[in-house]
Structure 1
Amino acid sequence: MRAVEFQAYGGPEVLQLVQSAVPKPGPGQVTIDAAWAGVNFADVKARAEGYRVTSLPYRPGLEVSGRIRAVGEGVEGLQVGQEVAALVDGGGYAEVVLAEAAAAFALPDGLDLRTAATVPTVLPTAHALIHEVGRLRSGESVLVHGAAGGIGTAAGQLARAAGAGAVYGVVSTDAKAGYALDHGYDEVFRADTFAEDVRRATGGRGVDLVLDPVGGDTLRRGLDALAVFGRLVSFGNAGGGEPWRVGQPELYAQGRSIGGFSVLALARTAPDAVRALTERALRAVAEGVVSLPVTAEFPLSEAAGAHRLMGGRTSTGKLLLRVTG
């Protein structure tokens, strides 16, 4: 089978199309004939700096959709030929993908394989940020960094569906601003002035919820954008800064709180919780509550092109690799 791997860290050019043996499922596992694979910023970080890479060569890819090829011992509820989406901890850039059965999800009626490939990392994350961790209530306001990205696109829609009083975004370019405004955001701000812009937009009150994948100084300034009793949820460190530390002085005075979320980390420690999250996310997509536009797709052999687009920080929505066809 064909797969995409890298044997050294570097630019998109280190991604290589290789021939590899077809994996076989062990107990509690399935193999999937992949139709589509999602491209995520975590894949770019893995290739560039070894993020979450345990050894080389390494095969990126955290999410796929396709049909069950084979099932391992003890697997129940999944059958050969069944259409699924799956969350995998690497290995998704391949024609046949090995997945834990607990992280493979049968598609609800009306959800096609191409759309399903956008779900496994982005939609459960966005759902958790708005609901389970962020606990957004009707009438509250939310500020989302990376508003034009995959998670940002979904989070804005989910916030609106949850009855948010105002949905604000942070973007880096005019093109991304236009995209975010077309996908549910009321106003969008730039990274260097967002805290001041939030205060202006809210009459000095601040927002009830901030969703931050950047970390570092952006996270610290996000605290300044919170209202009394506001919550900030960290879900990444895309800025590459030092790990953030927040203590009593920043939180006690106005009753603020900080939470965190990683769908991959949760999948390792609480797979049942991720399963419930993903099933809710799949239903939300199938019912039209939220949609994640695929703004670019590449054949598997051109994975480097997808990485160049995402690494250039100009992409919006969701990027996919077309594995078959």
Structure 2
Amino acid sequence: MRAITIPVPGGPDALVWAEVPDPEPGAGEVIVEVAASAVNRADLLQRQGHYPPPPGVPAYPGLECSGVIGAVGAGVTGWAVGQPVCALLAGGGYAERVAVPAGQLLPVPAGVDPVDAAALPEVACTVWSNLVRVAHLGKGETLLVHGGGSGIGTFAVQFGAALGATVVATARSTKHDKLRELGAAHTVDYREQDFVEETRRVTDGRGADVILDIMGASYLARNVAALADGGRLVVIGMQGGRRAELDLGALLAKRASVAATALRSRPLADKADIVRGVREQVWPLVESGAVRPIVDRRLPMRDAAQAHRLVESSDHVGKVLLTTA
């Protein structure tokens, strides 16, 4: 088969479309014939040499895919060859085939294009596990989503709104109309406006009950300032760095909490549990149309370098897909 390889870490041109060995399904795995994968920020870090895949995972980037099952390994039940699926991966999605633990498979939701389904697994699992399992976002609460125009952001805006939360999203002003269409009640241009002041303004001074943050260190102090009493800050990215000073006094005064999570490195059983939760609680929202995959564009997988440049520029809204056809 062919896959995107990284012979030497570096810029987008480090991505090379090359012939590699075909995967074989191990016990408890299936082979997915990949129709599409999606570009995530983690893929950019892996390309640069900063985020190696976990042991035993293919060296090719790609944390999600859609396609059809091509082979079923020993011990797998409930899945059959030819079945359309999408999957959460620890790596290997930028390829024509990938071996997937059966617990990380999801059916393509009814009404969703089988290619566009590649835009769902990583964001759905990330957003659901953090907003529901960690932050316990409730109806009537205020959710602040940073990076609202990203794949994670566009999904979180829709999901938060579907849960009955009032969603505030930060993004470039050119993306605000789209975010309001997706369910954001308020939008903030992070380049021109102070998201702390804006969040307090639109909540009559209370602040956000839950903040989903992709920035990390550079936003930590301001995120704590933007929290309501009893608020929950969940950090899922470090685009703004990994080290910052935390004012515990400010956190204590608000009886607030800070959590940080990653998905890729979780044990298989934990990932399977998250996937089950997504299938039970998120897929019905997707099938009803309350939440949908937001795809900026599709590009051939051999043009992965172009896709990485686009995602690095942050000029996209939603997901950039890489297709094998």
TM > 0.5 between the two? Answer: yes
Equivalent position amino acid for 1:20 in 2: V
| Alignment check: 8 A CA contact 1:8 1:57 kept | no
Render the CA deviation track for 1:102-126: whole Å, top value 9, x for unaligned: 1122334433312321111011222
| Alignment check: 8 A CA contact 1:130 1:158 kept | no
Counterparts of 2:118 and 2:174 in 1: how far apart (Å)?
25
Render the CA deviation track for 1:198-235: whole Å, top value 9, x for unaligned: 22222322121111111002022101001111111111
| Alignment check: 8 A CA contact 2:32 2:67 kept | yes
Specify the alignment match of 1:296 in structure 2.
297
Specify the alignment match of 2:70 in structure 1.
69
Specify the alignment match of 1:202 in structure 2.
203
Counterparts of 2:221 and 2:131 in 1: how far apart (Å)?
20
State the 1:80 CA deviation.
Answer: 1.1
Specify the alignment match of 2:159 in structure 1.
158
State the 1:261 CA deviation.
Answer: 2.9
Equivalent position amino acid for 1:25 in 2: P
> 3-state DSSP class of the match of 1:250?
helix
Q: Unaligned 5+ residue runs, structure 2?
A: none
Specify the alignment match of 1:284 in structure 2.
285
Q: Does residue 1:139 correspond to 2:173, yes or no?
A: no
Please give the residue correspondences for 1:12-161 in structure 2 after superposition, counting only pairs within 5 Å: 12-53=12-53, 58-161=59-162
State the 1:50 CA deviation.
Answer: 2.5
Query: How many residues were matched structurally?
Result: 321
Identity %: 36
State the 1:301 CA deviation.
Answer: 1.1
Counterparts of 2:265 and 2:24 in 1: how far apart (Å)?
25
State the 1:243 CA deviation.
Answer: 3.5
Render the CA deviation track for 1:4-56: whole Å, top value 9, x for unaligned: 11111111111101012211111111111111111111111111242134699
Counterparts of 1:199 and 1:278 in 2: how far apart (Å)?
31
> 3-state DSSP class of the match of 1:37?
strand
| Alignment check: 8 A CA contact 2:4 2:18 kept | yes
> 3-state DSSP class of the match of 1:61?
coil
Render the CA deviation track for 1:294-323: whole Å, top value 9, x for unaligned: 111100111111101001121111110111
| Alignment check: 8 A CA contact 2:53 2:90 kept | no
Question: Structure 1 residues 121, 114: closer, same or farther in 2, change over 3 A?
Answer: same
Equivalent position amino acid for 1:196 in 2: E
Counterparts of 1:69 and 1:272 in 2: how far apart (Å)?
21
Render the CA deviation track for 1:29-88: whole Å, top value 9, x for unaligned: 111111111111111111124213469993100111111111111111111111111111
| Alignment check: 8 A CA contact 2:173 2:188 kept | no
| Alignment check: 8 A CA contact 1:107 1:282 kept | no
Counterparts of 2:5 and 2:30 in 1: how far apart (Å)?
21
Equivalent position amino acid for 2:32 in 1: I
Q: Does residue 1:229 correspond to 2:238, yes or no?
A: no
State the 1:245 CA deviation.
Answer: 5.9
| Alignment check: 8 A CA contact 2:129 2:274 kept | no
| Alignment check: 8 A CA contact 1:229 1:257 kept | yes
Specify the alignment match of 1:306 in structure 2.
307
Equivalent position amino acid for 1:14 in 2: A
| Alignment check: 8 A CA contact 2:54 2:265 kept | no
Provide the TM-score with structure 2 as the length reference: 0.92
Question: Structure 1 residues 218, 46: closer, same or farther in 2, change over 3 A?
Answer: same
Equivalent position amino acid for 1:85 in 2: C
Equivalent position amino acid for 2:125 in 1: P
Specify the alignment match of 2:176 in structure 1.
177
Q: Unaligned 5+ residue runs, structure 1?
A: none
Question: Structure 1 residues 316, 72: closer, same or farther in 2, change over 3 A?
Answer: same
Question: Structure 1 residues 103, 264: closer, same or farther in 2, change over 3 A?
Answer: same
Specify the alignment match of 1:255 in structure 2.
255
| Alignment check: 8 A CA contact 1:211 1:234 kept | yes
Q: Could you tell which deviates more after superposition, 250-259 or 86-95?
A: 250-259
Cα RMSD for the two superposed structures: 2.1
State the 1:130 CA deviation.
Answer: 2.7
Specify the alignment match of 1:275 in structure 2.
275
